[in-house]
C-alpha cells in the first residue's frame, strides 16, 4: 500500500515538473515599439506570475518586462500608458508580456 502511494506521489511530482515553465526567452536588442500598461523588473513577482501563465521562465534574467503590451503601428499614436521599445513579443504570449523593454524618449 505504501509503495503505491509513493509511486503516485512521484508520478505527480514528475508531472508538475514537466508542466512548469522551462522556456527561457532569449534577450535581444529591443526593436518593437510597444504601448504597455506597466514596465516591471523581470525579478518581480508580478512578472514571474504573468510569465508562468504564458509558459516562459524569467529566472536568471534581469531586464525590464512590459506587461499588457500592444504594438504601436502609427506615428503619433497616443499610447496613454508606457511607451517602450521591446524585443518583439511572441504571438503566443497574447500581448501579456514583452521582454527587455526600454523607454522611448521623444
Residues 4-36: tens digit of each pLDDT: 554 444 444 444 444 444 577 767 778 888 889
Prediction pTM value: 0.69
Establish if 86 belongs to a structural domain.
Answer: yes
Establish if 1 belongs to a structural domain.
Answer: no
Establish if 53 belongs to a structural domain.
Answer: yes
Residues 63-104: tens digit of each pLDDT: 999 999 888 877 666 777 788 998 877 887 888 999 999 988
Establish if 50 belongs to a structural domain.
Answer: yes
Establish if 37 belongs to a structural domain.
Answer: yes
Q: 9 vs 2, 3, 4, 84, 93, CA distance in Å?
A: 11, 10, 9, 45, 32
Whole-number pLDDT of residue 42: 92
Instruction: Print the domain residue range for 32.
Output: 22-103
31 three-class SS: coil
- The total domain count for the chain is 1
In this prediction, what percent of the chain has a pLDDT beyond 70?
A: 75
Burial of 84 (C-beta count, 10 Å sphere; 0-12/13-18/19+): buried
The DSSP bridge partners found for residue 98 are 66
Amino acid at each position: 500500500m505504501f509503495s503505491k502511494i509513493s509511486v503516485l506521489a512521484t508520478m505527480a511530482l514528475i508531472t508538475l515538473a514537466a508542466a512548469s515553465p522551462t522556456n527561457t526567452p532569449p534577450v535581444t536588442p529591443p526593436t518593437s515599439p510597444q504601448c504597455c500598461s506597466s514596465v516591471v523588473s523581470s525579478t518581480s513577482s508580478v512578472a514571474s506570475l504573468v510569465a508562468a501563465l504564458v509558459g516562459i521562465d524569467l529566472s536568471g534574467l534581469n531586464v525590464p518586462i512590459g506587461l499588457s503590451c500592444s504594438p504601436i503601428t502609427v506615428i503619433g499614436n497616443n499610447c496613454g500608458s508606457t511607451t517602450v521599445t521591446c524585443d518583439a513579443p511572441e504571438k503566443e504570449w497574447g500581448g501579456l508580456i514583452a521582454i527587455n523593454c526600454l523607454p522611448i524618449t521623444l
